[in-house]
Structures are given as C-alpha cells and as structure tokens.
Amino acid sequence: MNLPLIVLAGAGAVYRYGPSLGARYFGRPFYLIKPSPRRYCELALELAMRYGIDAASMTAHKGQLVARAKMPRAHSMAEAHEIADALLKAAGGKRSGVIDSAPAPIPTGVPKVERKENTVLVTLPGFSASDYANATSKSIIRELESGAKSVVIDLRAAHDGELAEMLAAVSPLLPDGVAFSYRDNTNDLTPVSLFYGQVDDGEYQAVIDGKQKYTVPVALLIGEHTRGTGEAVALAFRGLVDTRTFGTPTYGLTCWNAVFPMPDGTSFVLTTNTILARTGAEFCGEPIEPDSPTADPVTDALTWASLHG
C-alpha cells in the first residue's frame, strides 16, 4: 500500500475520532490541531449527553436543542465556552461546566492522632500517601487497644487527596463491605468497598497492615472546607450505629466529577455519578448537613463521645 495514503488516512481518523475516543478512554481529548468553536461545542455535546448524570432529563434535552441551534453561529472561543458551559450544566447539574484548567492541587496535609482522655482525636486532612494511611490506622488501633472508648474524626480541612488512602486511614472504624456506591446515568453502581485491610474506591486501591475492626462511637467534625473526598469519608460512616456529625454544612461536592482538559487551557467538568449512601440517601452536589449544628464542634463532639463511649 502507498505509505503516504496510510498516514493520511490515519491522520484523518485521529482528526475525526481522536477527541471523542481520547476523552472516553483516557480522560483527555486528543486533537491534531486546536478545535474550532464548533468542534469544541460538539465534544461538549457528546460527553454531556453520553455521561451527564442528568442526560435523560428534560432540562438536558432542552439544553441540547439550544446548543445545536447556537453552535453554527459560534465564531469565537468565548462563545463556545458559554454554549458548552450551559450544556454541561444542563446535563450534569450545578457542579458541571467549563473552567480554566489548573494543575491538580498536591495534598500537603498530614494526619494526626492524639488522645483526649478516653477519646481518640483523629485530624484527617486531604492526603494521598499510603504511608500516612498505614501510620494513621496503626495509631487508631494502638489507642483503642490501650483502652480508648470512642473516636472523633476532624474532617473540617479534608479535601483533595486520594479517597482510597483516606478511607484506609480510618478503616479500623468501618465495617468490611460496601461503604457507599457511585451511581451513573444508567443506574449502574460502582461500589466503594473495604475488605481485610484493602480499600477499593472504584479507581484506586489502598492497602494497610492492620486488619482489626472496632465498633465504638464515632463523631465526625464537618464544615464548609469539608469537600469532595472529605465529604465521601463522612458519607462512608453514614448509617452506622453510634455515629454523629457535628459542625456546619459541608461544601457540597458530593458527587463524582469527570474532568476533561481541552487544548485552549479550559476543562470540561461533568458530574457523571451521584453518591448512594448505605442508608439509601442519594447525594448529587448537595452539602452534608450536620446532625448537631454547632459553632464549637470539638467540644460538643468530645462531650458526646465521652458520654457514649
């Protein structure tokens, strides 16, 4: 065969299918050249209607019709951003849209475990290091083995980080099995599960040395900076006996968002999954309301824990 024709055909296939297949299988659209405003909108339309959690809704259907009508008249990237943003929100909800791309934040928090009389106080910020997960879980086990009767977990600065590692850190306090599930727009469930020292969050796995489990009262401190992974950790405890949340409402990133970087420095953000708690409660970008609203969650949680431990 003629090599130039093969190369030309391959380039044509990449030009046509690269954005869609790249986004679907690698999370990053592949373009040979920067997309025109119309091609930019076309990819937003495809992703929104294929993966958006609300893609089957009337709002998404209307958003699709509006986008199709506007796309041929989009002559600037600013117009394309506006069209794509509205479409992504229609199919994915309020946590979806077009954002300026930025490097993913590197979690720098360090978990801390300390003893307050008969209560273990665990400060759990966002983190991704497996060493932190292992050390934190071992410290919790050590304190409970030495006579502590209850645990307070401070999630008020818990965001970013790797969910599997953060759950592994507090896994001695969680039963084996499904902690919660992600639900997509076809009602398929992706469980986030724990089993014998291993945590699987649907994308990544974390493993710790300690396999012990403890059924003790657990208080969770939450607030406006509890976001994303921090909210997921809080929901992993939802429905367990002798568990209570203290503080103020969380940020409200209680969903699974897919992020697709675009060549112009923007990214598509699309909510693709809700979070289904073990109680049956479903969250899709709403804040978690505390069981005990309080301006002094540490004191109130320690008091509750000491009374129930």
Residue 150 φ then ψ, to 5° = -155, 170
Mean pLDDT is lowest, of 195-209, 212-226, 274-288, for: 195-209
Q: For the chain, how are helix, strand and coil distributed in percent, rounded to 5?
A: 40, 25, 40
Element (H, E) at 52: none
The yes-or-no verdict on residue 208 having pLDDT over 50 is yes
- Give the pLDDT score at 30: 65
The CATH superfamily assigned to 112-252+287-308 is 2-enoyl-CoA Hydratase; Chain A, domain 1 (3.90.226.10)
Express as a percent the part of the chain with pLDDT over 70. Answer: 89
Average pLDDT score over residue span 242-265: 95
- Give the pLDDT score at 33: 76
Identify which has the larger pLDDT, 250 or 102. Answer: 250
> What tokens appear for 163 in the block?
């969910």
The yes-or-no verdict on residue 13 having pLDDT over 60 is no
Average pLDDT score over residue span 253-279: 95
68 pLDDT band (50/70/90 cuts)? very high
Residue spans per domain, the chain: 3-99, 112-252+287-308
- Give the pLDDT score at 34: 87
Residue 98 φ then ψ, to 5° = -100, 130
Average pLDDT score over residue span 243-267: 95
The yes-or-no verdict on residue 94 having pLDDT over 50 is yes
* Per-residue pLDDT tens digits for 229-242: 999 999 999 999 99
* Per-residue pLDDT tens digits for 139-161: 999 999 999 999 999 999 999 89
* Per-residue pLDDT tens digits for 269-293: 999 999 999 999 999 999 999 999 9
* Per-residue pLDDT tens digits for 26-65: 667 766 678 899 999 999 999 999 999 999 999 999 999 9
The yes-or-no verdict on residue 212 having pLDDT over 50 is yes
Q: How far apart are CA 50 and CA 56, in angstroms?
A: 9
- Give the pLDDT score at 281: 96
Average pLDDT of the chain to the nearest whole number: 91
The yes-or-no verdict on residue 25 having pLDDT over 70 is no
* Per-residue pLDDT tens digits for 156-176: 999 989 999 999 999 999 999
Sign of torsion over alpha carbons 84, 88, 89, 94:
negative
The yes-or-no verdict on residue 189 having pLDDT over 70 is yes
70 pLDDT band (50/70/90 cuts)? very high
Interacting residues of 172 by C-beta distance below 8 A, sequence separation 6+:
137, 140, 141, 144, 210, 212, 213, 214
3 pLDDT band (50/70/90 cuts)? very low
